[in-house]
Amino acid sequence: MSKGDMNKILVTGACGQIGSELTMALRQKYGNENVVATGHKTKPGPTLRDSGPFEFIDVTRRETVEEVVDRYNIGTIYHMAAILSAVGEQNPHLAWDVNINGLYNILEIARERELTRVFCPSSIAVFGPETPRDNTPQETVLRPTTMYGITKVAGELLCDYYFRRFGLDVRGVRYPGIISSETLPGGGTTDYAVEIFYEAIKHKRYTCFLREDTVLPMMYMPDCIRATIMLMEADLSRLKHHADFNLAAMSFCPAELVAEIKKHIPEFVCEYKPDFRQEIADSWPRTIDDSAAREEWGWEPQYDLAAMTADMLEKLGRKYAEGRL
Ligand code: AKB
């Protein structure tokens, strides 16, 4: 089997929160026709659909991925398709199937075809109750209590195994909660930090499913996209880690986010009704030490809580005014 064209990129999970914006950033950087967006069941929005190739696949059915990889002569895969923490707790079997069997299919396809590079996201969910919760180190206890976390630990180890054993260049970061104004997140524990903006603009009220003092690591989408592409473009010889980089930008609790939103919308009111997601959040770190990412590929975030909040409200406010929210 011939090696793929290193300029041809496949994005799985391209209709998801990160995938949708990542695809557009990659198309802008490498050319629309060179980035093939793929989704499972969700129909792509017009921006994604009309700006370049789109295909439906199912990462748990290997032949559906192989067909697209071969047809487009793909060289690089950004494997963004995953089941997140909250949905994973409601359907652990699905989380295992998509996050483990789906990843295994991607890695095998990449190994067999000697693809240039694969990106596989991990998450702060790899940590668990026994992990130090403040300034969580790069190398530490990985004993998560969620199915999502278990699949992410296994995924990191599997990716590193493929690098060591087969020389496949797999890279990945442990994403914190990602906040964005384009596509809603699908079923995570950090989703409150996105929903709250929509509700603040539309109804000036929000009921938060986490306690007001629950501090979690978060990141604004422009930083998330920049980090992802930066790592994928980093010089391999500088990388001591591969699929498990800690990554950080800011940490805050719901009460701090509410206070920041109130600076722009003083009448905004937030209530707190913690549900099953509280236990998940309580098992995750508050702040992350990302010095390995900073040293090995020059990571530095640009958005803090104030800058992110102002930009989110500006973008969503404009959409609301135009009747697009
Ligand atoms: C989730 O909440 O499940 C995700 C994550 C932190 O990986 N946003």
Q: What is the pLDDT of residues 226-253, one digit of tens each?
A: 999 999 999 999 999 999 999 999 999 9
Mean residue pLDDT across the chain: 97
Predicted pLDDT at 7: 80
CATH placement of domain 5-176+221-246: 3.40.50.720
Question: How far apart (Å, rounded) are the C-alpha atoms in residues 9 and 77?
Answer: 6
Per-residue pLDDT tens digits for 123-134: 999 999 999 999
> Is the beta carbon of 175 within 6 A of some atom in ligand 1?
yes
Task: Give the torsion sign (CA, 293, 298, 303, 304).
Answer: positive
For the residues 159-173, what does the mean pLDDT come to? Answer: 98
What's the pLDDT score for residue 1? 42
Q: Is the pLDDT of residue 5 over 80?
A: no
177 lines ligand 1 (CB under 6 A): yes
Q: Atom 6 (ligand 1): residue with closest C-alpha?
A: 177
Active site residues: 148
pLDDT at residue 3, rounded to an integer: 66
Alpha carbons 325 and 322: distance in angstroms, whole number: 8
Tell me the two tokens of residue 284: 């995750």
Distance from C-alpha of 175 to C-alpha of 247, rounded to nearest angstrom: 6
User: What's domain 177-219+249-321's superfamily in CATH?
Assistant: NAD(P)-binding Rossmann-like Domain (3.40.50.720)
Residue 74: CB partners within 8 Å, gap ≥ 6?
Answer: 4, 5, 8, 9, 10, 36, 68, 115
Element (H, E) at 305: helix 305-321
pLDDT at 18: 98
Q: How confident is the model at residue 6 (pLDDT cuts 50, 70, 90)?
A: low
If you average pLDDT over residues 77-103, what whole number do you get? 98
* pTM score, whole prediction: 0.97
Q: How far is CA 297 from CA 76, 152, 223, in A?
A: 19, 22, 14
Q: Is there an atom of ligand 1 within 6 Å of 146 CB?
A: no
Cα 231 to ligand 1 centre (Å): 20
Q: What is the average per-residue pLDDT within 215-220? A: 98
Measure the CA–CA gap between 224 and 179, rounded to whole angstroms.
9
| Domain range summary for the chain, segments of one domain joined by + | 5-176+221-246, 177-219+249-321
Give the C-alpha separation, 127 to 157, whole Å.
14
CB 16, CB 27: distance < 8 Å: no
Closest atom of ligand 1 to CA, residue 86: 3
- Mean pLDDT of all residues in 169-198: 97
Residue 4 has pLDDT above 80, yes or no: no
* Stretch 152-165: mean pLDDT: 98
Tell me: the pLDDT tens digits for 10-64?
999 999 999 999 999 999 999 999 999 999 999 999 999 999 999 999 999 999 9
Whether residue 124 has its Cβ less than 6 Å from ligand 1: yes
Domains 5-176+221-246 and 177-219+249-321 share a fold: yes
Residue 186 pLDDT > 90: no
